[in-house]
Structure 1
Amino acid sequence: MQQLRNIQLHTGAKFAESTQDRDVPVSFGDDAAALQASQEEVVLCDRSHWGRIQVSDEERLRFLHNQSTNNFQQLKPGQGCDTVFITSTARTIDLVTAYVGEDAVLLLVSPNRREFLIDWLDRYIFFADKVQLTDITDATATFSLIGPKSDAVLEQLGASAIINQPYAHHQVVKFAESEVRIAVGSGLALPGYTLIIPVEAAANVWNSIMQAEVKPIGDRVWEQLRILQGRPTPEKELTEDYNPLEAGLWHSISFDKGCYIGQETIARLNTYKGVKQHLWGIRLDSQVEPGSVITVGDEKVGKLTSCTATEKGYFGLGYIRNKAGGLGLEVKVGDIVGEVVDVPFLTHEYYRGE
């Protein structure tokens, strides 16, 4: 990874100052141009600080099926999905992307959830279970291509076979003289691809993509995109205060599968329309601190969870009670006026079954 960091430093990367995040590229300069390129062209984001957990052995699919919200039993090698790990009371632990391989399932987890999730999953593996957990974060790197011109980059690099495949479909290809797993999906609602790379090949793969004239982005622009797109993250939108239905993660939940941790609560909330609040985007006139109260008139209706600056002002994410209204609602966040808007990553629809 040091070779990769040296290359990134040479191209203007600034790294986080905190000890915990010191290997995370924060910015490559001109964040405004990078943000625009992500929505009009293509950018490259180093997500190597995200966790990667390998789940292997004979009962891996059954185990993950029973521990999270999506239907793993129907997945075949080369397919994948988003899934949510929740508590028994349906409080959200993490939104995870899973890639099913021939011999193992690879979980891409949030940076601040890797150790917690390994410990969480391990407690549900019993003596007779044929399931193995391996933390492969330090042995691998993860990059995401983000933007509408991502396909053109794959074509340039000779990896076009994955283009037009469904979300989270993936395959291993020869790339920059190494075997790289390329998956459909950028981690956001924007088009793109995610690459899982052996750590010893990370620098060469990064160089090859940069030679295709792709602009790099740091974690600061990723955070802006995450908020603008509406992707919830642990410790902000995903906490023990909220369930995945409130968080707009309906696409990550199977309502037809059997029992899993938290399933009874999820089913009850869906059946009886028990979701009383939803996560929304909020256009704001000024910067507001996350945690600020959202009001309509004199009534408290929710809480802001994230906020970022954009060229067009400020944008936040926040939970708002359904009874207050939704799309187009005018609110106050602290003393600042805001408008409730849709964000592309989230869904607010009920599943009623047959």
Structure 2
Amino acid sequence: MRSPLLDLPGAVAADGVDADVAAHYGDLFAEQRALVKGEAVVDRSNREIVRIAGVDRLKWLNDLTSQKLDTLQPGEWTQTLILDLQGRVEHHMTLVDDGEAVLAHVEPGTSEALIDYLDRMRFMLRVEVSGVDDLAVLSTATEDFYVPRGDHQGKPLAGIWAYEAFRIEQYRPRLGFDTDHKTIPHEVGWIGSAVHLTKGCYRGQETVARVHNLGHPPRRLVFLHLDGSVDTLPPHGAPVIFENQEIGTVGSSARHYELGPIALAVVKRTVPVDATLLAGGVAAAQEVIVPPDAGRNVQIDPSLRRRIR
């Protein structure tokens, strides 16, 4: 649904799946500065919200998804994944339980398939699954919360481009942007943040355990510092080249008010971590997010993740 906040003065609509919210409100870098200072919020009301109610909801979701949810406390936000039988990511949910129901927000255009899957898995359990139209996601640089649609809590607004710049800076992948139909959680750093390694069985868990204990994922997520002398950003899906061979694709890209042009990309695991790459024809230096030796009980050090200053 188109956001009512797009009618505010200065609002410029984004494109693609984010076309229902504002890309910016007239000054991208000023909006980023306000966002990092905690002075602005971002309208992400194009995110779709799914409500899961019923007394069995947390144990049921714990059995279906990758995160440990049976002990989730009211007000505690977390992430979880639904995987296919081969351990490939089908859905990514950011969720909170309010004591009566779980509210999960997902990528635009994905809630119908998610609700259909969850409905088919209810069996005789006491759960109810439905879409939510009267709430919207409002975000700071680091946190999400739910508000009535069109409400921005009286705070200044920053556009989705500002939010995306900080998401990329924080190494946070986005489903459908930094993933594809082959993505497994290890490749994009979702182990820990969205995958609990010891909680027990769920669909796709065998692949997660096998990679964690015995192998390495075939690809790895990298952060790219792009050549700032080039006027354009590499588009989503642009090839990443090393030594004249395509070794990956660009996911998300943005202009950051301090770092300049940046991007996330998924590349072959064996690409040297110090290699300069070409991302959509733009020279790019890497920062390691997922190390080449990820798996085999090698964990991603949380301290390596960027923090909002």
Q: Which residue of 1 aligns with 2:226?
A: 284
Q: How many angstroms does 1:350 deviate by?
A: 4.3
Q: Equivalent residue for 2:147?
A: 197
Alignment of 1:165-314 (within 5 A): 186=142, 193-199=143-149, 202-203=150-151, 206=152, 208-210=153-155, 215-251=156-192, 252-285=194-227, 286=230, 287-310=233-256, 313-314=260-261
1:134 is the counterpart of 2:134: no
Point out the more displaced range, 65-74 or 38-47: 38-47
Matched position secondary structure for 1:118 = helix
Deviation at 1:110, TM superposition (A): 1.8
d(CA) in 2 for partners of 1:46, 1:281: 25
Cα shift at 1:261 = 1.1
TM-score (norm: length of structure 2): 0.83
Please report how far the alpha carbon of residue 265 of structure 1 lies from its aligned counterpart in structure 2 after TM superposition: 1.0
Q: 1:301 to 1:25 in 2, by over 3 A?
A: closer
1:330 to 259, 276, 283: 276
Query: Quick check: 1:56–1:105 contact (8 Å CA) kept in 2?
Result: yes
2:119 maps to 1:122: yes
Q: Which residue of 2 aligns with 1:12?
A: 10
One-letter amino acid matched to 1:221: A
Higher alpha-carbon deviation: 216-225 or 247-256 = 216-225
Q: Distance between the aligned counterparts of 2:67 and 2:27, measured in 1?
A: 39
Q: Distance in 1 between matches of 2:107 and 2:210?
A: 28
Corresponding residue number in structure 2 for 1:165: none
Whole-Å Cα distance in 1 between the matches of residues 238 and 279 of structure 2?
6
What is the percentage of aligned positions where both structures have the same residue? Answer: 24
- Work out the CA distance in 1 between the residues paired with 2:78 and 2:157: 26
1:157 corresponds in structure 2 to none
- Looking at structure 2, the residues matched to 42 and 244 of structure 1 have their Cα atoms a distance apart, in angstroms, of 33
Q: Which of 33-42 and 49-58 deviates more?
A: 33-42
Superposed CA offset, 1:27-72 (max 9, x none) = 2111121123323443211112211111111221121112211001
Once the two structures are TM-superposed, the CA of residue 246 in structure 1 deviates from its matched residue by 0.3
1:352 to 2:294 alignment: no
Structure 1 distance, partners of 2:224, 2:81, is 24
Letter in 1 for 2:7: L
Shift of 1:78: 3.1
Structure 1 residues 14 and 298, CA gap change in structure 2 (3 angstroms): closer
> What do residues 159-215 of structure 1 show as CA deviations (whole Å, max 9, x unaligned)?
xxxxxxxxxxxxxxxxxxxxxxxxxxx3xxxxxx3221244xx53xx2x432xxxx3
Question: Unpaired segments of 5 or more residues in structure 1?
Answer: 147-185, 187-192
Shift of 1:101: 2.7
Question: How many residues of Structure 1 are paired with residues of Structure 2 in the alignment?
Answer: 291
3-state DSSP class of the match of 1:250?
coil
Offset, 1:94: 2.9
Give the equivalent residue in structure 2 for 1:143: 138
Q: Using the alignment, how far apart are the partners of 1:16 and 1:288 within structure 2?
A: 17
Partner of 1:54: 51
What do residues 60-112 of structure 1 show as CA deviations (whole Å, max 9, x unaligned)? 11211122110012223333311112212111123211212322111121223
Aligned to 1:321: 268
Indicate the residue corresponding to 2:62 in structure 1: 65
* Residues 17, 300 of structure 1: alpha-carbon distance in 2 compared, 3 angstrom cutoff: closer
Structure 2: state its 5+ residue gaps: 299-309
2:188 partner SS: coil
Structure 1 position 342, deviation (Å)? 4.4
